[in-house]
Structure 1
Amino acid sequence: MKIKKVFNNNVALTEDANQTEMVVMGKGLAFQKKIGDTIDMEKIEKTFVVPSQGFTDKFSALLDEIPHEILVISRDIVDIAMKELQTDLNDSLYLSLADHIDFAITRTKEGLPIKNPLAWEVRKFYRKEYDIARNVLDLIEERMGIRLPEDEAASIALHLFNAKQGDTGMEETMTMTQIVTDITDIVKYHFGIEFDMDSMNYSRFITHLRYFAYRMLRKELHKDDRESSLFEQVKGEYPEAYACTQKVQAYLNRQYGVEMTKDEATYFMIHIHRVSHREKNN
């Protein structure tokens, strides 16, 4: 693995035998190294593949602004998150997380308030990511000697969830979160219930809403009505779920100009009936 660019003593851009460009990180691995030199593999602590053209320049500019210890924290957070979530995360998370944490620390030191308008929703809908993020606040305090506000746990959790979605942007993730919030509120007020957030039915419902919102924003919703016969059957069996689904449809049409097909509406009725029926019985 040969060096193509030295960012600083601890970070370098390399190329392997297959001409794959990778960023490698490790204490002192690039010290007194130059282009063409071979990296000491034993010093490598973290690697990630360069995701796109232009990344190198952005990364170099970021390294000029962000202390190495924050990059190390970011790397450790990603490792912890992948282990806890049992999934790979987008490599761009290393940079976006480091940039966010650095800015959050700066604002905290300057006494500027940090508020996340979706903090409450994030705690509800992304509970695994939020629990990890709360531990991250402890890690940052231990390493950097500064305690970030609790709202920062929600912001970090959104970064983690966003990295699970592949190339989903943060703005899209926040819109998805708002859609899930609005639809759950419609269901809650229609039936006059409170959700048991630990229940399996609630978990299934939220998973369905996330996936629906993701496909909706990417214009990947079903375009046919193959389940129209099932729609009529479910509509007849669950009239209250149908009435609630109509409210959801009105919201989607008003806010996003989206019209659900009958098969999408069928899935909604089934999920709404299941979660509302169990909650009302409880």
Structure 2
Amino acid sequence: MDLTGPVPASIKRVYNNNVVLAVEGDSTEVVLLGKGIGFQRRPGESIDTSLADQRFMAEGLYRAPQLAGLLSDAPSEHIAIARTITELGHATLGLEPRQSLMIPVLDHLTFAVRRAHEGTHIDFPLRWEVAQLYPAEAALGRQVVALVNETLKVELQDDEWVAFALHFVNQQWTKGDFSKTVAMTETISRVFLRLSERWGRAVDENASSAARFVTHLRYVFARAASDTQLQTSRVDVLGAVKLAYPEAAEAAVDIGDLIGRAIKRVITNDEISYLALHTSRLYAEMNDPR
């Protein structure tokens, strides 16, 4: 979003006084956001992109005209809050303050506020899963809802924190396709259900070993989705786990299959081996008589 210097461009469309769609020399469409940047401007005129406060380009599901439409329709205070939320994500979770986070947050914020004004409620079916699997993101999501309520003098639906939390999760591994984050969340929830079914008792998802396991699962998803899975180990970790905890080794293979089917990838043996380290720790803790 940050500008690095003046870039000559030609105005393609003026959306309002603060939003302009322009085309740079290489035919790249850009959206320029800045107070008064579109005032008395016309299509075809040259414009210096350094005049804008922020410069956006097509990314993920958002094409340049869609970005321009979203930014021009959003009240300035919504844009300011979306920036603040992005900065909170950076300060609290270490997320890069990028367009890939700000734009989806702004998009969701606009509809959430509209629903609040209209008194419309929607279901958030992953509420429990998000709270259990992503406690840091869930806490920030709740903070965001409180911030929006206080700043805009509105009363968002309490469960809106779920969507904000998922946007933070999304930024950490897909940076674009929100459906993959939902698939990951649902799959991780199924992983714990499957373990409980296999071992005959519920896994304590609040235990530190479970939290570490969730973190590892998220990394497995990220590596598999980007085709950078682990596949160089010369140690037979899975074989060692099979000898000590065969139930945990079998569970790891099952989990690898669940993840693979969720994202249409084959999970490597090395990834399954490291999953087995975590399942063996969980299994040992569940069966420790102390």
Query: Matches of 1:168 and 1:63 in 2, distance apart?
Result: 18
Structure 1's 257 and 25: CA in aligned 2 closer, same or farther, altered over 3 A?
closer
Q: What amino acid maps onto 1:66 in structure 2?
A: A
The residue correspondences of 1:124-273 to structure 2 (distance < 5 A) are 124-189=132-197, 190=199, 192-197=201-206, 199=208, 201-217=209-225, 221=229, 227=234, 229-248=236-255, 251=258, 260-273=267-280
The CA distance in 2 between the partners of 1:218 and 1:86, in whole Å, is 20
Unaligned runs of 5+ in 1: none
Q: Which amino acid in the other structure matches residue 210 of structure 1? A: R
- Using structure 1 for the length normalisation, give the TM-score: 0.79
Q: Does structure 2 conserve the Cα–Cα contact (< 8 Å) formed by 1:241 and 1:273? A: yes
Task: Give the CA RMSD over aligned residues.
Answer: 3.7
* 1:9 and 1:28 in contact (8 A); partners too: yes
Which residues of structure 2 form unaligned runs of 5+? 1-5
SS of alignment partner, residue 123 of structure 1: helix
Is the Cα–Cα contact under 8 Å of residues 22 and 32 in structure 2 kept in the other structure?
A: yes
CA contact (8 A) 2:17 2:39 kept: yes
Shift of 1:218: 5.2
Match for 1:79 among 87, 98, 102? 87
Cα 1:82/1:7, change in 2 over 3 Å: farther
Letter in 1 for 2:246: P
Q: 1:86 to 1:265 in 2, by over 3 A?
A: closer
Residues 1:278 and 2:285 aligned together: yes
Matched length: 277
Cα deviation, residue 277, structure 1: 2.4
Q: What letter matches 2:90 in structure 1?
A: M
Q: Distance in 2 between matches of 1:166 and 1:246?
A: 24
Give, in angstroms, the shift of residue 198 of structure 1.
5.7
Are 1:48 and 1:91, in contact at CA under 8 Å, matched by a contact in 2?
no
What's 2:3 paired with? none
Structure 2 distance, partners of 1:276, 1:121, is 21
Contact 1:129 1:157 in 2 (8 A): yes
